[in-house]
Amino acid sequence: MIATIDSIYEVLERVTDPEVPVLTILDLGIVRKVELKEDQVVITITSTYMGCPAMDMIAAQIRMEMAAAGYGSVRIEHSIRPAWTTEWMSEAGKEKLKAYGIAPPDKRFSIPEDGVECPRCSSRNTRLVSEFGSTACKALYQCRDCQDPFDYFKCH
């Protein structure tokens, strides 16, 4: 098998975030670098939030997918600078989030008090319930029109 950077990215496209399974790690923008060094593949990833408990699992999943695709030697490195930002999330990822019921990050503001678009009924008549949601990367909102509570992926 001839390893190319493109073929490695195809493998990485199969690794999803265990906490937001509609997003691949490429959608999230946490894959920072892929390198071929002699016989070894070096993949550099970064965490979204400092204490994100999904990181160890994501690293393990990368190893498994790479092994399944026939890559023998894979090294995973972690970088923290520059710090991850939702600017690195793909547009496709934002669409997937919305379809999944999570409001995508809105770069106009980090945590708006209200005005986040409800992923279910598209109303902007919504209110912030808590800056902290079911995972570190999300805040909790409620729609005043359809009354549904929903997660908002914080602009970070």
Distance CA 120, CA 149 (A): 10
Distance between first and last Cα of the chain:
39
Member of 19, 42, 49, 100 binding other proteins (CB under 8 A): 49
Counting contacts by CB under 8 A, is residue 18 touching other proteins?
Answer: no
Q: Which of 7, 73, 134, 147 binds other proteins (CB under 8 A)?
A: 134
Answer yes or no: are the C-beta atoms of 31 and 40 closer than 8 Å.
no
Q: Tell which one of 2, 37, 39, 50 touches other proteins (CB under 8 A).
A: 50
Report, in Å, the least distance between residue 7 CB and other proteins. Answer: 31
Instruction: State yes or no: residue 32 binds other proteins (CB under 8 A).
Output: no
Looking up tokens 């990367």 gives 137
Contact call for residue 59 and other proteins (CB under 8 A): no
Q: Which is nearer to other proteins, 49 or 100 (CB)?
A: 49
By CB under 8 A, is residue 147 in contact with other proteins?
no
Contact window for other proteins (CB under 8 A) among 11-19, 21-29, 48-56, 114-122: 48-56
Core vs surface per residue 75-108: b (16+ CB within 10 A) or e:
eeeeeeeeebebebbeeebbebbbeeebbbbbee
Q: Do 79 and 46 contact (CB within 8 A), yes or no?
A: yes
Question: Which pair of tokens denotes residue 141?
Answer: 């909102």
Sites of contact with other proteins (CB under 8 A): 47, 49-53, 80-84, 129-134, 136, 140, 156
